Structure 1
Amino acid sequence: MRTALLFPGQGAQRPGMLSALPDHPAARSTRAEAADTLGQDWRALESAEALEGTLAAQLALLIAGVATARMLAAEGARVDVVLGQSVGAFPAAVAAGCLAFADALKLVRLRASDMARLYPSGFGMVAIVGLTARRVAALVEAAREGAPLYISNDNAPLQQVISGADEALARACAAALDAGARKAERLHVATPSHCPLLDPVAVSLMEAFRTVEMRAPRIAYASASRARMISDPAALAEDLSRNVAQPVRWRETTELLVERGVRLFLQAPPGSVLTDLVGEAHPELRSVSLETLPLKSVLYLAAHDDEKR
């Protein structure tokens, strides 16, 4: 196992992200399939106004991730393991052969719609950089004061994400900066993801998965909420359903992949937040955002990595 393909979650979206994909047959066919399944022009999902909403953001991330995986596969680039953060788990499952793209589109539409309906306003997420997980946990406990607040992502030793009500998030931000955090900023996410507040969404998704065919992965699938590999189809369905309400154990999961021999990390568009995290933790390894390189360069990297296997 040497090459991992990473898929970002909500917050990474940006206007024009689907139009910016390489001009490749796999990208064009993926966008067309999405438009046909959803019954709307894919361009309607990538405007700045649309991406302010949870629904367009999550669907656009799914489409971009699947298009990227299909382009790499079409060009013969070998990927050994896939890993997605939050909604990024859905394109990861499609890329691994566990879930049909059409089913993923319908499930993500349900997921995002339920999230937006459950928390239309007054909630969100904040990234805190520069404090340990233990210190952030203490700040979260103190900042609750009757309003819900949780640690939702363990991204790196000094990067945690918290989710909850606006007033509690504001208290936690102020306390974090007073405690010496380098940064405490609101993420471009309108809902309090990866905490018990979203348990109803997980229940709805689990019910929807009863009508969906799941298959064992052809490419290894790593779960960021369990920090382990999953191959059983039923367990995969549960993982995809429940990850919306479970903390993201990103640091542990990437460490697992490194221990299993991954030496090249590729991030599907948009952005480079995931490969930046890997690069900070493991500067000796190669971590590349596919948004920053031409497809030919990416294929060269993957082929060069194959030679070392």
Structure 2
Amino acid sequence: MQVLITFPGQGTQRPGMLRDLPGDPAVVSVLAEAEEVLQVPVAEMDTPERLQSTVWTQLCLLTSGVAMARCLAAHDARADAVAGLSIGAYAAAVTAGVLSFADALRLVRLRGELMAQAYPGGYGMTAILGLDCTRLAPLVAQVCSPQRPVYLANFNAPTQTVIAGSEAAMTEVSALALAAGAQAAKPVAIHVPSHCPLLNGAAQALQRAMQGVVLTRPAARYFSASKARELRDPGQIADDLALNMATPVRWHETMLLAHANGARLVVEAPPGDVLTRLAQPVFTDGVTLACDRARLDSIVAIVKRHAAN
């Protein structure tokens, strides 16, 4: 049974998320490398104040994902495949051996800076629950304008779509969606309009910076959540990483792809269990597991047992 590790995106972060990781030598090593590259003590990375920053939120999510994946690998609980939502793609690429952790830290810091500089305020993302995309799309098109931009951004599940844009436009779309039968409209803890054309310029700047970074072919299967397909070529993965901030997330399609390619155990790196809940309807014949605050020995035992089958 193939093992897929998934890595969450922004909105799942919480203060103390790095402190809650297992006290394992592999985790300690990853945290030490993060301290060395970023020149900030780990204890100061995931404070409530730091996590108000897009830059530090992304750096903490990257570090948490890589630390958990390396911890599992150190206990012979390795992934056959990886997939990451938004910033999670960087942890996926490191885990697959495509990109060094040090390079990923530098790129993600630049990524966060570019995103924050492009939209320092008045923009963000909102999750619309209980309304399918065919009914939501016309409402977004009705509101979107150059003065009040809003776009479909994350296709997380058949009835869970995230929109991105100006706060005023998202508020209007949310009201229309609720009137059309949506169950809820919930602002996401993301202060930039990710996964839409508003970040094209920032994505292109990161793509240029990526040209100086060495990437190698993945040692595990790398499923792109932007393209909903497997990528093997390092150049294609480089573009996938650089441009994903301005590209819609096709998470549900990516989970269907992973299932069709044999994945049956889905292990979500911390923090949170958002991706586990999204995976459950797809992997009804498998097992979905969130690592966050779970016992390491239990996680390892489950991964080893299913990997052997």
Fold match by TM threshold 0.5: yes
Instruction: Give structure 2 stretches of 5+ with no counterpart.
Output: none
Aligned position for 2:85: 85
Query: Where do residues 1-309 of structure 1 align in structure 2 (5 Å cutoff)?
Result: 2-145=2-145, 146-308=147-309
1:142 alignment partner, SS class: helix
- For residues 108 and 43 of structure 1, the distance between their equivalents in structure 2, rounded to whole angstroms, comes to 19
How far is 1:284 from its partner?
A: 3.1
Query: C-alpha deviations, 1:86-115, integer Å up to 9, x for none?
Result: 000001000000000000000000000110
**Match of 1:28, as an amino acid?**
V
2:87 alignment partner, SS class: helix
Deviates more, 1:34-43 or 1:185-194: 34-43
1:288 alignment partner, SS class: strand
- For residues 235 and 294 of structure 2, the distance between their equivalents in structure 1, rounded to whole angstroms, comes to 37
How far is 1:292 from its partner?
A: 4.1
- For residues 262 and 88 of structure 2, the distance between their equivalents in structure 1, rounded to whole angstroms, comes to 22
Query: C-alpha deviations, 1:239-288, integer Å up to 9, x for none?
Result: 00010100000011000000011110000000000010011333332111
1:281 alignment partner, SS class: coil
How far is 1:180 from its partner?
A: 1.1
**Match of 2:153, as an amino acid?**
S
**Match of 1:232, as an amino acid?**
D
**TM-score w.r.t. length of structure 1:** 0.98
Instruction: Give structure 1 stretches of 5+ with no counterpart.
Output: none
- For residues 61 and 142 of structure 1, the distance between their equivalents in structure 2, rounded to whole angstroms, comes to 35
1:127 alignment partner, SS class: strand
Is residue 21–residue 293 contact of structure 2 (8 Å, CA) maintained in 1?
A: no
How far is 1:2 from its partner?
A: 1.1
Deviates more, 1:90-99 or 1:140-149: 140-149
- For residues 282 and 297 of structure 1, the distance between their equivalents in structure 2, rounded to whole angstroms, comes to 20
- For residues 176 and 40 of structure 1, the distance between their equivalents in structure 2, rounded to whole angstroms, comes to 43
- For residues 301 and 292 of structure 2, the distance between their equivalents in structure 1, rounded to whole angstroms, comes to 15
- For residues 124 and 31 of structure 2, the distance between their equivalents in structure 1, rounded to whole angstroms, comes to 29
**Match of 1:251, as an amino acid?**
H
- For residues 301 and 183 of structure 2, the distance between their equivalents in structure 1, rounded to whole angstroms, comes to 37
**TM-score w.r.t. length of structure 2:** 0.98
How far is 1:229 from its partner?
A: 0.5
How far is 1:200 from its partner?
A: 1.2
